[in-house]
Structure 1
Amino acid sequence: LSELSTNRARQGFSATETAISVFALKDALLELMEEEKGAETLRDFVAYSALVDQMGLFTFETFVRARESLIADQAEQLLELSTPVVKLWEGVVAVPLVGTLDSARAQVVMERLLQTLVDTGSPYAIIDITGVPAVDTQVAQHILKTVVAARLMGADCIISGIRPQIAQTIVALGIEFGDIATKASLADALRHVLRLTGVETTARRPRRES
């Protein structure tokens, strides 16, 4: 029953469909009992029916646990996919954040960023919040904790994607980023880091048609 419930949960069946497959055992026995009638047969059916009911409840509980485990695994995978850490340049990695940044996701961001810093040995990390719809005190605290954790690993962080609306909100909330560098866009942040590393960047002029 446990294997049946787990497999059906993974295959997308509902809890009702899974339980019905167990309760169908009553119908199979009922057809046989119609041929034999009597008090003893009725007692046997009642006892058998109670057993099937217990089996159905066990199946339902196992199904729910399997579905909850599956949902938790999918949620963890989505968190990892929604918080990628990409290498932009030699020694420069970036975390492009999209959507709301809650405590669980902030923890994943911090872990993935620190692990990438260790794996690549990058001294600079850009945290891009262009895709974050709003920045409140909680979101700012999560970002600051990530910056502090990265500094403990020996990497400097630059925050990019500070739009005018977000800048006004940060000022209104009295949030201070201290000596953390902030840029309006990811491109500006990358140019800033490249200047720090001694790489000169120039704008490419369009070619003139002859």
Structure 2
Amino acid sequence: MKQAQPFVVGLTGGIGSGKSAVADLFEAHGACIVDTDRIAHELTAPGGLAMPAIRAAFGDGVVAPDGALNRAAMRALAFELADARKRLEAILHPMIREESGRRCREARSPYVILAVPLLIESGSYRERVGRLCVVDCPENLQVERVMQRSGLEESQVRAIMAVQASRARRLAAADDVIDNSGALEGLREQVDVLHRRYLGLAASAGAV
């Protein structure tokens, strides 16, 4: 008998919104987490499947001694060459889409959390999820969190935010919104409610 396809919930939010904390709480409920950032790091780790194509496209200068992507060198190259980022994305994105799709299909939990930082910006991912959950907090709080964890200047954080979808655009696209402007306990309660909702939706969709 063919295994039913899990119900897929897309999880996204701006930088510093707390997507990882939310994903951890869903995982504690037994949900399978498919994280596209994690897949990207695997693809560019020593021996990663994307590294031969990256080396061929950009040369040995963007490859660290251990065979992983030298992220600092890649960032510098992207700053120098306008199309370098697009060329890198052209290598990575199809691989990430394929691998994330495989992991979603093979998941054995009633529903899957597909965590995609730029889900709103990438229309192809929106088509792959049955529900879209956005982790939200005020922009000033995003900036504060990222500065604390990364040591970046405020201008650097806001430059990153400027190339992401706006808060208003994310909220307009959301089916569900998790407010992560308060304490962890409040976050946990919201995830508990959504976990029950997603179990119900998965059952209705025939995923369980």
Do Structure 1 and Structure 2 share a fold, with TM-score over 0.5?
no
Instruction: Mark the structure with the bigger radius of gyration.
Output: 1
So what's the TM-score if we normalise by structure 2?
0.31
So what's the TM-score if we normalise by structure 1?
0.31
